[in-house]
Amino acid sequence: MDFWERLGFRENPYNTKPLNVNSKDVDLLMGRNEEQIKFLNAIDSSSDGVLVLSGVPGVGKTSFFNVQQYLLESGQAPFGPRLLSARQLCPVNPYDEPRLIAERCVQSLCKSIQIYCSITGASLPAETKKISEWINKRTTANYSLGLTVLGNGGSFGRQISVSTIKDTTYEGLVEVIEVMVSEVVSTFNFKGCFIALDNIENLQEDELGESLITFRDTLFSLDNVWWILIGQAGLNSLIETKDPRVSQRISASIDLKPITDGALKKAVDQRVDEFHSGQEKGSSPIPVTIYTKLFESSNGEIRFVFKYCHDICLNLVKKVRTQMQKMDNGWGEQLFNELMGNYFVKKEIGERNCNTLLKELITENFHGLNLSQEIKGVLKLIGEKKSVSVKDYKDFKSFGIKTQNEFLHNYLTQLKDKNLLLRKTEGKLVKYQLRGIALIALEQELL
């Protein structure tokens, strides 16, 4: 049993995992009505295309996309085609070549079809089955896969052949994807499927441009595939500055802004209510003032808010437990859990108490980063200036920073990798600002 179960919750109400492609998560998504219409409209407008979905980390991109996918796949969306969900997103890592990205797309799509089949009890279509065996046959030399691309209605098609997956060229991989898509359409009566590239901002700027050009006339031109490019806030404007040939291929772009404070409150209430196993209506153990403050000071990163809510609860229970042990009142573990659980859903943790716990946690986590005085000074100055670009290196002379390059590589990029800075693109301009724990540390004067 985990911590929350002992307290009478079926699940952690502050779970930071993205909402998934399933019916029970649909009700947990709050405050995205406008974006939903925009999304469905775009998907409904054509049988294939490319849609850019951007926003700061933790704002809810994956969750939003998954819920829309579920609605479309199950035919429960207010309108729009039935498409097979991408149940496995295709991660993009720094320095990935187009061929490797295509290889991951093959794997993700195959996995998505497999999961769909296991959920619905359908058997894996013939060609896709061959492909899944081929993917797992990593080393056999001269293994050749003969595949049939089904024509319209499966009436005629063409035959393709590829060797092992590692030895298959980019063009070959594109054909394999085409085979699977054609089967999804002919076997399951779907209009098509989603394939999602996640964290596309991981590519360096010039790689991004190059890859997108490569994809444009190949992957992005496949029939019946909706490509979803998920990435940082401002991704679309970044793509626009690249190559007009690529941005012409982008059918729509949605930049997710943080949900409203009201929607966040609804989201939390809904989760506490859903996940608490008791009969009575529960409320959030963490007071709304506290999580709203966390929400606002984190640029709307729900993931950050939930993480700290969970940690505050954990810490409180640990403290009470220690106190109880000292008092030696003979309470058993079960009674303790019951009382604590009741306290958590009926009352909330006092605001002052929460603030103290939060401050302790942030201080502890922040000190755990072992930042030098100099780095803290740099963070503080960035915080005071709200946001900086590499060109602002001159203002950081007092820290011994002499060049733009030094500022970028030794400071901005490293602090971004530690999740202390948020990297935002505004057209061609890249800006950095404090993020999450660094923002709170500035407020709490830990810098």
CB 192 within 8 A of CB 184: yes
Of 270 and 353, nearer to ligand ADP (C-beta) is 270
Q: Which positions from 192 through 211 interact with Mg ion, judged by CB under 5 A?
A: none
> How many helices and strands, by DSSP H and E, does the chain display?
19, 10
Q: CA 290 → CA 81, 284, 299, 307, distances in Å?
A: 41, 11, 15, 13
Task: Indicate if the alpha-carbon torsion angle 118, 120, 103, 101 is positive or negative.
Answer: negative
CB of 197 to ligand ADP, least distance (A): 13
* CA–CA dist 381, 384 (Å, integer): 5
Of 201 and 311, nearer to Mg ion (C-beta) is 201
* CA–CA dist 437, 123 (Å, integer): 47
CB of 415 to ligand ADP, least distance (A): 19
CB of 262 to ligand ADP, least distance (A): 11
Q: Which segment (61-69, 137-145, 186-194, 407-415) binds Mg ion by CB under 5 A?
A: 61-69
Helix ranges restricted to H, 202-287: 205-216, 235-242, 244-247, 261-275
45, with CB counted inside 10 A (0-12, 13-18, 19+), is: exposed
Q: Which of 306, 396, 411, 432 binds ligand ADP (CB under 6 A)?
A: 306
Of 55 and 287, nearer to ligand ADP (C-beta) is 55
**What is the amino acid identity at position 399?**
F
Which residue in 337, 345, 339 sits closest to 274, CA to CA?
345
Using CB under 6 A as the binding rule, whether residue 28 contacts ligand ADP is answered as: yes
Of 180 and 254, nearer to ligand ADP (C-beta) is 254
HSE toward the beta carbon, residue 378, CA cutoff 13 A: 26
Tokens encoding 235:
């991704």
Which residue in 437, 434, 428 sits closest to 412, CA to CA?
434
Q: Which of 147, 259, 371, 375 binds ligand ADP (CB under 6 A)?
A: 259
Of 179 and 267, nearer to ligand ADP (C-beta) is 267
Q: Which segment (1-9, 300-308, 348-356, 410-418) binds ligand ADP by CB under 6 A?
A: 300-308
Using CB under 5 A as the binding rule, whether residue 54 contacts Mg ion is answered as: no
Q: Which of 62, 66, 337, 433 binds Mg ion (CB under 5 A)?
A: 62
Q: Which positions from 125 through 184 interact with Mg ion, judged by CB under 5 A?
A: none
Q: Which segment (56-64, 142-150, 279-287, 382-390) binds Mg ion by CB under 5 A?
A: 56-64
Of 55 and 383, nearer to ligand ADP (C-beta) is 55
Q: Which positions from 51 through 70 interact with ligand ADP, judged by CB under 6 A?
A: 55, 57-63
**What is the amino acid identity at position 116?**
Y
Task: Indicate if the alpha-carbon torsion angle 355, 361, 364, 368 is positive or negative.
Answer: negative
* CA–CA dist 316, 257 (Å, integer): 32
The CB-nearest residue to ligand ADP is 60
Task: Indicate if the alpha-carbon torsion angle 354, 356, 357, 360 is positive or negative.
Answer: positive
Of 13 and 172, nearer to ligand ADP (C-beta) is 13
Of 52 and 177, nearer to ligand ADP (C-beta) is 52
* CA–CA dist 229, 236 (Å, integer): 9
Q: Which does 339 bind (CB under 5 to 8 A by kind): Mg ion, ligand ADP, none?
A: none
Q: Which does 300 bind (CB under 5 to 8 A by kind): Mg ion, ligand ADP, none?
A: none
Using CB under 6 A as the binding rule, whether residue 16 contacts ligand ADP is answered as: yes
Using CB under 6 A as the binding rule, whether residue 209 contacts ligand ADP is answered as: no
Q: Which segment (58-66, 181-189, 346-354, 391-399) binds Mg ion by CB under 5 A?
A: 58-66
CA 17 to chain centre: 9
* CA–CA dist 378, 360 (Å, integer): 23
CB of 198 to ligand ADP, least distance (A): 8
Q: Please provide residue 420's backbone torsions phi and psi, each rounded to the nearest 5 degrees.
A: -95, -20
* CA–CA dist 371, 330 (Å, integer): 44
Using CB under 6 A as the binding rule, whether residue 246 contacts ligand ADP is answered as: no
Q: Which does 285 bind (CB under 5 to 8 A by kind): ligand ADP, Mg ion, none?
A: none
CB of 63 to ligand ADP, least distance (A): 3
CB of 309 to ligand ADP, least distance (A): 11
CB of 29 to ligand ADP, least distance (A): 5
Tell me which residues touch Mg ion (CB under 5 A): 62
Tell me which residues touch ligand ADP (CB under 6 A): 15-19, 28-32, 55, 57-63, 259, 267, 302-303, 306
